[in-house]
Amino acid sequence: MLMVPEYKTRLRSLLFRTTLQERTEEMKVAFDYIYKASVELKSSKKLAKILESFLENSHPAIQSLESLQSRAMEEFSKVASYFGEDSKSTSTDTFFGIFAEFMSKFEDRKKKPAGCFGNAELPRLFFCFFGGNDLLLNGSTVLL
């Protein structure tokens, strides 16, 4: 077996060929079930009625969610502006990613003994406390 070049690849190929027909038949049966179900759903008056009452009932909830999302974005804009970021060009993922990165690096640095910080970069925008001294990181990178 070890003398045959690429025997693993050849065995996989042989197994694939032997099971291909069986898998194809299974897929045809599954496709037929899905097709028949879609035809039944397309002509179902009961489904149309259920979807209609669902849409009627969910409309107020959707409007409420849209209102809350709009309000959240307004608040995000205020917070981003407070920290010197332009909310139009900074996504929420990017903005809060800065906080997540800071917390991760801060926790890593906190575990190291004093004097072991070297030239490690800390992200911008944060107030943090080292030995009682406030260190303002606003709009720039600080090297410790």
φ, ψ (nearest 5 deg) of residue 127: -100, 130
pLDDT value, residue 19: 85
Q: Residue range 119-132: average pLDDT?
A: 45
Q: Is the pTM of this model over 0.75?
A: no
Cα angle for residues 81, 135, 102 (degrees, 5° grid): 65
Secondary structure of residue 136 in the 3-state scheme: strand
Tens digits of residue pLDDT in 25-70: 999 999 999 999 888 888 888 888 888 888 899 999 999 999 999 9
pLDDT value, residue 116: 52
Q: For residue 70, what are its two tokens?
A: 């709009």
Q: How far apart are CA 57 and CA 72, in angstroms?
A: 24
Percent of the chain with pLDDT over 70: 76
**Which position has the token pair 């069986």?**
22
Q: How confident is the model at residue 115 (pLDDT cuts 50, 70, 90)?
A: low
